[in-house]
Chain A
């Protein structure tokens, strides 16, 4: 039907696009090779030999496990907060029109539109003005703030595709507001929320700039990595942790993609 279906791309465009994608992916693949290198002191290429001994060394490092546990707990709680706040905001903005609607979407985007260092130092100065000591919750406070936008974006996109007449139909058929939410709205937005939650989790798990200002002495995985980058102690362990972090963030992203892809097809039928 579309006239451009059978067209071939110009060769130059193909090459430029392929080079761009290679540029994006090769550096990450390199991490996988370095995790097996026998070289301890430098980043020499090609690796003089391959070994798996660094996985065992990393496994027995308590500081790595502590950082991992803190990161997972922070990410889980921040994601939960962001899910509630982001969904509420998205529902309000997409289902109704009111004065200041635009301002609200700007307010939600602001924490990621402004450089992270501003969010970080702003939170830190607020903590110091209010005499709040650094704790688990100060990290969560910062993370939840910028995770809201990820959930919000996903939920808003889905709400836009969900037609309002379904909600009206549900009400007409005698469901009250809560039943409508439970049986009509929630199934429609569930996958978008799950995807948003996954992305929020990945975002929080990886965050370092804001965290350096709100963590005090605590170490999340990114802060642990940053320490190793600035003052290397055992480079092979860093290599292994880097590889594991790539794999750990890969899974939620693939899953989130899978969810929204399916969801959008379902939601698309209501167009």
Chain B
């Protein structure tokens, strides 16, 4: 019916204008595409510009304020004192811990993601392909808190993992691991190992999808050509597959890295009492009421991600998104 409406118009070579406001507007848009472009861009840019960038600047501005240590009131005068506080040993520890965790999580996600992405991109066909895709999409989109909750069930001392290891007579292994200094703890759900596992689990799909997208674009005969020319599977991986998948891995790492940097819920629910950047921000702005220091803390991930995105863009990672 919609096409019929268009077709029923008379068909001289030059049509009369439609007239009215609507016709005038339509003509205006056609004659001045820039005007239409401005009109289309204005609402999203105003929203993101005012709400988002505006808020970011409000945050940045607060990081140059300071807190009066006696009254707890915020002193709205420009100072770099808060940034000085940021570089205390305890805070540097938090930053270092978070960045290390983010790097490890990114590395582990890339290693686990690659076989899934490669299989899905190169071997899965038809129904299997759809199944693989959904197999990644569903965990990606299922509730973040439910996933964390599931791991709390798994890692609890009385939970399924301990039960499984007991059945396999491997409890000694778990105990040995938990007695290690940094990664261990009373049980997995209050150790860095637990935090690490949950981070990897929750962000893994963010890594698989871009890697798969990058691998889809690698023609299968490139791999064959490589082995025809005498490369071993390992050499083919190192010299052909990996470089071609790298933009995808970098694109995925933007997510795994950035999400780990800013998360404060996972280490709070599954982890030790030692803080991550996100938790520090949260406690500074909440219980401590030190908004300037919280703001200064958030500048750290912004700066790290700024460099990261800049580097990623140079590697062509955005085309793989």
Check B43–A27 contact: CB distance below 8 A.
no
A5 to B122, CA, bound (A): 9
Check A28–B147 contact: CB distance below 8 A.
yes
Residue of B nearest to A98 (CB): B37
A24 at the interface (CB under 8 A from B): yes
Partner among B119, B132, B146, B204 whose Cβ is within 8 Å of the Cβ of A245: B146
B137 neighbours in A (Cβ, 8 Å): 253, 257
Additional pairs, 18, CB under 8 Å, beyond known A20-B115, A225-B149: A17-B119, A20-B112, A25-B135, A27-B154, A31-B153, A45-B153, A114-B262, A115-B301, A117-B278, A117-B298, A123-B55, A125-B55, A129-B61, A170-B6, A174-B9, A177-B30, A246-B143, A253-B137
Q: A43-B159, A113-B258 are in contact. Are A20 and B44 (CB under 8 A)?
A: no
A108 to B49, CA, bound (A): 10
Residue of A nearest to B158 (CB): A44
A126 at the interface (CB under 8 A from B): yes
Pull 15 A–B residue pairs with CB atoms less than 8 Å apart, ordered by A.
A16-B119, A20-B115, A21-B116, A27-B201, A28-B147, A42-B156, A110-B52, A113-B254, A117-B298, A125-B58, A125-B295, A145-B52, A148-B44, A183-B2, A206-B145
A259 at the interface (CB under 8 A from B): no
A105 to B313, CA, bound (A): 12
A107 to B309, CA, bound (A): 12
A176 neighbours in B (Cβ, 8 Å): 18, 22-23, 26-27
**Residues B275-293 near A (CB distance < 8 A):** 278, 281-282, 285, 291
A245 to B220, CA, bound (A): 40
CB distance from B82 to the nearest CB of A (A): 13
CB distance from A16 to the nearest CB of B (A): 4
A50 at the interface (CB under 8 A from B): no
Contact with A along B119-135 (1 / 0, CB 8 A): 11011010000101111
Q: A42-B158, A119-B52 are in contact. Are A114 and B149 (CB under 8 A)?
A: no
A266 at the interface (CB under 8 A from B): no
Check A45–B163 contact: CB distance below 8 A.
yes
A126 neighbours in B (Cβ, 8 Å): 54-55, 58-59
Check B301–A118 contact: CB distance below 8 A.
yes
A14 neighbours in B (Cβ, 8 Å): 119
Check B6–A85 contact: CB distance below 8 A.
no
Interface size, A (range): 35 or more
B138 neighbours in A (Cβ, 8 Å): 25, 28, 250, 253-254
B41 at the interface (CB under 8 A from A): yes
CB distance from A20 to the nearest CB of B (A): 4
Stretch in B168-176, B242-250, B264-272 touching the partner: B264-272
B143 neighbours in A (Cβ, 8 Å): 206, 222, 225, 242, 245-246, 249
A194 to B301, CA, bound (A): 34
A183 neighbours in B (Cβ, 8 Å): 2-3, 5-6
A123 to B54, CA, bound (A): 9
Check B153–A85 contact: CB distance below 8 A.
no
B44 neighbours in A (Cβ, 8 Å): 85-86, 88-89, 108, 148
A106 to B51, CA, bound (A): 16
A178 to B280, CA, bound (A): 52
Check B47–A85 contact: CB distance below 8 A.
yes
Q: A28-B139, A229-B148 are in contact. Are A9 and B113 (CB under 8 A)?
A: no
A226 at the interface (CB under 8 A from B): yes
Check B149–A229 contact: CB distance below 8 A.
yes
Contact with A along B29-40 (1 / 0, CB 8 A): 110010011001
B196 at the interface (CB under 8 A from A): no
Check A30–B160 contact: CB distance below 8 A.
yes
Contact with B along A169-196 (1 / 0, CB 8 A): 0110111111100110001000000000
A271 at the interface (CB under 8 A from B): no
A17 neighbours in B (Cβ, 8 Å): 115-116, 118-120
